[in-house]
Structure 1
Amino acid sequence: MPRQWMVSHALSKLGAALSLMALLASGPALADELVIATASPAGVYHITGRALCSLVDIPCEARTSGGSAANLTALRDGEVPVALAQSDLQHYAVTGSAGFATVGPDPNLRAIAALHGEPFTLVVRRDSGITGFADLRSRSVNVGNPGSGQRGTMMTLLEAWGWSLRDFRPANELPADQQSLELCHGTIQAMVYTVGHPNPSIAQAVRLCDAILVEVGGEPVDRLVAGTPYLTRATIPAGLYGDDQPAVNTFGVRATLVTSAAVDEALIYRLVATLFDNLDTFKAFHPAYADLSPETMIREGLSAPLHEGALRYYRERGWIEDAAPAPETEAFSAPGADRGSSD
């Protein structure tokens, strides 16, 4: 057999093999590593980031941070490609309002999906005599570290009440992973946390120093929720922190997954596909995810436009029918849902 033919035949087989490998590995090219900015290790955000990282098929880091506002700033500055943020702070960032007024709107902020609900939670020492939000005046209250979501929601609520941080004696700025122990030590009489439940930090306060959860309501809260599309009524179910813990009525936001328009479409597409193709597996990571459904996840709490990578997946699933309107007007259809249903 001629040597030239053998070489040509071998090269032909090698070319076919490489073509087959390319076909089997077909799909969008991905970045070498995915970083998801989360928050305190004590909260559900960090669990969320770790859960997503465990599902994606590329190296992934769930990075701790100062919280929602810090994450949105890092995203804007190009320091991270994906982040978690409360729905209220997402709205502030995209509109350039509240804590983002000095830097202005972020035109590149893009939404990926909404995740679990985050009730605004007031936890107090049982011996403090605090039975409602109005009792916090002149008390020692932890309002959260600057840049955290709990701090952002607290400032919104204070504005609705006509209060400021000066109404507390004093207003503490502890991060979430320190506040429960300080409550037990008596350094503070109350702490607030905008978080999914059950939460280990709150469970620690209840277990170690007989803390209790208090309802957050009243006319200022009614007015705030009625006039704010990214806020909703919320109830913390009974029994999450002990048999004698009643259901607690409050209000809340949603955790949202966000990115930048500059982030590669293929990366976001693969992240979204991984999340929704493995949604039941994801929901098993924490009880706060129990009620997640595609319908709520692509509609609620999303003020920023959807990223093109996310839109591509949602269109392929038939969940979004139109070109690319704002999230509030997008049509949705899922099994058991009426096509084009609204909130």
Structure 2
Amino acid sequence: MQSPRTRSPQAIAPARPRLRPALLLLGVLAWPPVQAQDDAATIVIATASPAGVYHATGRTLCRLLDVPCEARTSDGSAANLEAVRTGEVTVALAQSDLQHYAVSGTRGFTGAGPDPTLRAVMSLHGEPFTLVARRRSGIQGFADLKGHAVNVGNPGSGQRGTMMTLLEAWGWTLDAFQPAYALPADQQSLELCHGKIDAMVYTVGHPNPSIEQAVRLCDARLVDVTGPAVDHLVAETPYLAHTTIPGGLYADDQPAVETFGVRATLVASADSDPEAVYALVAAVFDDLEAFKSRHPAYADLTPQGMIHEGLSAPLHEGAKRYYRERGWLDNEAAPAQEGDEAQPSGAGDAGDPVASDR
């Protein structure tokens, strides 16, 4: 068996009565009607690796409901968006950048084309693009990654999608790494500990147990991702923003880390029953403080941020109805209206072949 170091890289408001969401969800948010399912009442939420906040979020959403609900692991954002599009699942988590690409049919979605049925439900926690490197590797910044063994994320994952976007802005390809690996998120910390990779990237909410393992057990550190290429990318891309990972999250001597990031978003199909989506949204917002208490990554969530930031797809009708009832959504200020042409602008979108495996 080839060692990982030598083998070839893998292919790259006003008060309102409290609702009981479970009564509305029963039997209406599951598999699309065209697919016969024995467990039609089961809600399936596509998440990502068990090691990340997406899976924790899916499990949290399931706990809010009184109907059968499965937080299903997956290969990540791109795979989730495809699953929503094909009807394999009706609710999924996806990075804001990949939601944008799916709606516009760009980058990794050029082959499939724009998805006119994709609908946004809400925005969730921020996801900084996080670079973690072994201290002995000498990696002090993104530019130092050249020539090192780096895990860029498995095909279909959001971290790989963001990495490919950054590489394009930097003027690099995967050939810059020796080699580039395509490990899933739940394996990369172990490989870093074993010294088989020098660095890994992860687009994820913080704190994260996989990163904590790498820092506390494997003599690794978080590294800034800054520079003119990052500044230009953020300035030209509406779904990206500069962000800071607070100091001391993973070690007493860990300084604040400067980077950029996206947001996690919850998406559904336009074919999802409006009453079901309304109930799912109500399950979160009727007691938002209880939802926020489930994970540190949710600490800064606000209703206004959750209904506006990072949403490129039109809002689902069920979500729009809830937000309007709460007085949070002005008809003229909605991020995207039903029937709008879902063709948001963005840097380097048209005809872009980069990251076709996202």
TM-score under structure 2 length normalisation: 0.83
Identical amino acids, percent of aligned pairs? 72
Match of 2:159 among 150, 166, 183: 150
The answer to whether structure 1 residue 252 and structure 2 residue 299 are counterparts is no
| 2:46 pairs with 1:37 | yes
Task: For residue 118 of structure 1, give the secondary structure of its aligned residue in structure 2.
Answer: strand
Q: 2:109 aligns with which of 96, 100, 106?
A: 100
Amino acid at match of 1:224: L
Quote the Cα distance in structure 2 between the aligned partners of 1:179 and 1:26: 41
Q: Which amino acid in the other structure matches residue 118 of structure 1?
A: E
Q: In the alignment, is the contact (CA less than 8 A) between 1:180 and 1:201 conserved in 2?
A: yes
Which is further off, 317-326 or 218-227?
Answer: 317-326
| Cα distance in 2 between the residues matched to 1:281 and 1:129 | 43
User: Which residue number in structure 2 is paired with residue 166 of structure 1?
Assistant: 175
* 2:308 partner SS: coil
1:227-306 counterparts in 2 under 5 A? 227-306=236-315
Change (3 A) 1:76 1:302: same
Q: Which residue of 1 aligns with 2:148?
A: 139
Give yes or no for the alignment of 1:223 onto 2:266.
no
Q: d(CA) in 1 for partners of 2:23 and 2:46?
A: 29
Gaps of 5+ in 2: 1-21, 29-40, 338-358
Distance 1:26 1:250, change over 3 A: closer
Q: CA deviation at 1:324?
A: 8.2
User: What is the deviation of 1:59?
Assistant: 1.2
Q: Which has the larger radius of gyration?
A: 1
Cα drift, residue 326 of structure 1:
3.8
Match of 2:223 in 1: 214
1:207 Cα shift? 1.2
Query: C-alpha displacement at 1:193, in angstroms?
Result: 0.1
Matched, 1:51 2:57: no
Q: Are 1:182 and 2:191 counterparts?
A: yes
Judge which range, 298-307 or 318-327, deviates more.
318-327
Contact 1:233 1:250 in 2 (8 A): yes
Partner of 1:339: none
Q: Which runs of 4+ in 1 moved over 3 A?
A: 25-30, 323-328
C-alpha contact 2:46 2:58 (8 A) present in aligned 1: yes
Question: Aligned partners of 1:121, 1:27: CA distance in 2, in Å?
Answer: 39
Q: Give the conservation status (yes or no) of the 8 Å contact 2:25–2:280.
A: no
Distance in 2 (CA, whole Å) between partners of 1:57 and 1:276 is: 16
Is 1:299–1:327's contact at 8 Å kept on the other side of the alignment?
no
How many matched pairs?
304
Verify the 8 A CA contact 1:116 1:289 in the aligned structure 2: yes
In proportion to residue count, which structure has more helix? 1
Q: In structure 2, what is the Cα distance between the partners aligned to 1:62 and 1:28?
A: 16
SS of structure 1 residue aligned to 2:264: strand
Per-residue CA shift, 1:202-249, capped at 9, x if unaligned?
000011111000000000000000000000111000000011000000
The one-letter code matched in structure 1 to 2:94 is: A
Distance (Å, rounded) in 2 between the aligned partners of 1:130 and 1:317 = 49
Aligned mates of 1:129, 1:87 — CA distance in 2 = 32
- Residues 28 and 237 of structure 1, relative CA distance in 2, 3 Å threshold: closer
Q: Deviations over 1:307-332 (max 9, x none)?
A: 0000010011011131785449xxxx
Within-5 A mapping of 1:299-318: 299-318=308-327
SS at match of 1:298: helix
Q: CA deviation at 1:28?
A: 7.3
Residue 67 of structure 1 and its aligned partner are, at CA, apart by 0.3
- Give yes or no for contact 1:140–1:189 (8 Å, CA) kept in 2: yes
> Which letter maps to 2:161?
G
Query: What amino acid is the match of 1:163?
Result: W
Q: How does 1:65-104 map to 2 (within 5 A)?
A: 65-104=74-113
Q: Which residue of 2 aligns with 1:7?
A: none
Change (3 A) 1:59 1:223: same
- Residue 285 of structure 1 deviates from its aligned partner by 1.1
Matching of residue 199 in structure 1 with residue 229 in structure 2? no
Q: CA RMSD in A?
A: 1.4
- The 8 Å contact of residues 92 and 267 in structure 2, kept in 1 or not, is answered as yes
Q: How far does residue 36 in structure 1 lie from its aligned partner after superposition?
A: 0.5
Structure 1: give runs of 5+ residues left out of the alignment: 1-24, 329-343
Name which of structure 1's ranges 168-177 and 26-35 shifts more when overlaid on structure 2.
Answer: 26-35
Letter in 2 for 1:297: M
TM-score (norm. length: structure 1): 0.86
Distance 1:137 1:125 in 2: 14
User: Which has the higher mean CA deviation after the structures are superposed, 276-285 or 103-112?
Assistant: 276-285
Are the aligned partners of 1:215 and 1:248 in contact in 2 as well (CA < 8 Å)?
A: yes
